[in-house]
């Protein structure tokens, strides 16, 4: 049996398994260990990749409602797994490549002013990137957003000073920003927008268009997206997508300032993008 046929067979079997209530409960409990393999029994460690693949392809990607799909994602990425992920990233090096260093240089140029700005990170996770900027430019207000309560509580307890972490999904960023009037915003994301549902990402860019925003993104993208005349959405695996961020931004009134692409291989790479709303 070929690998593709084996996958199709397993997905059909999985469709029947998840209809059994007790099996579904067990599968969801197992999904919650996504970033915590030490919590699995030996046989669960063997079975996990197959169960995860079945659940993603049969349940998650088949769901048409973005809000429901987001809730399904939280079964794996939220809770203890989200907290474990944040703790892993807490100790990772910042500015570990040339293009990553350029990303922070672009932010620092905008932060090196006396008047106060609001700095918002989308998907701040551990908060280490916000803390890195806050240390050098404490005159601004720093807000980290995440969608999981456990991650937000961890970051708020870990950091002190004019740095705050708020539970806020990307597509509701406008609700947060409306609380600050007559002020300039710096909004940035470092590898987090790839996890935003495609439908929600469009709302995110549309909401930003109503404010004075300097936007800086550093996100993984498949090269074929950048060469496309359209705006394709490509699922990359592990709940992440490749998006045409430049096109989304320009369609919503952003003026592109910097676009740089660093390939990792023949397929994938990282895009550094900086833009401002035309004001």
Our CA angle for 132, 33, 233, nearest 5°, is: 65
The answer to whether the beta carbons of residues 40 and 33 sit under 8 Å apart is yes
pLDDT score, position 23: 96
- 195-244, pLDDT tens digit by residue? 999 999 999 999 999 899 999 999 999 988 887 777 678 999 999 999 99
- 143-189, pLDDT tens digit by residue? 999 999 999 999 999 998 899 999 999 999 999 999 987 789 999 99
Measured CA to CA, the distance from residue 9 to residue 14 in angstroms comes to 9
- 252-269, pLDDT tens digit by residue? 999 999 999 998 888 899
State pTM to two decimals. Answer: 0.95
**Domains present along the chain, CATH in parentheses:** 3-89 (no CATH), 95-277 (3.40.50.150)
């Amino acid at each position: 049996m070929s690998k593709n046929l084996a996958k199709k067979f397993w997905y059909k079997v999985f469709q029947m398994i998840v209809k059994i209530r007790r099996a579904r409960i067990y599968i969801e409990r197992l999904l919650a260990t996504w970033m915590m393999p030490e919590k699995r029994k030996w046989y669960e460690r063997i079975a996990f990749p197959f169960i995860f693949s079945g659940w993603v392809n049969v349940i998650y990607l088949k769901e048409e409602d973005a809000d429901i799909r987001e809730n399904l994602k939280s079964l794996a990425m939220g809770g203890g797994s989200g907290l474990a992920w944040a703790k892993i990233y807490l100790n990772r090096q910042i500015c570990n490549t040339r293009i990553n260093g350029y990303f922070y240089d672009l932010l620092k140029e905008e932060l090196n002013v006396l008047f106060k700005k609001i700095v918002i990170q989308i998907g701040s996770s551990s908060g280490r990137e916000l803390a890195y900027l806050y240390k050098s430019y404490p005159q601004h207000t720093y807000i980290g957003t995440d969608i999981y309560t456990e991650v937000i509580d961890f970051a708020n307890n870990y950091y002190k000073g004019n740095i705050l972490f708020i539970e806020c999904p990307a597509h509701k960023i406008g609700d947060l920003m409306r609380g600050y009037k007559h002020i300039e915003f710096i909004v940035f994301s470092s590898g987090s927008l790839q996890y935003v549902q495609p439908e929600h990402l469009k709302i995110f860019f549309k909401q930003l268009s109503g404010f004075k925003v300097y936007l800086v993104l550093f996100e993984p993208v498949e090269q074929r997206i950048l060469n496309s005349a359209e705006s394709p959405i490509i699922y990359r695996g592990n709940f992440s997508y490749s998006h045409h961020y430049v096109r989304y931004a320009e369609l919503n009134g952003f003026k592109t300032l910097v676009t740089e692409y660093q390939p990792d291989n023949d397929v994938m790479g990282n895009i550094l993008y900086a833009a401002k709303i035309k004001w």
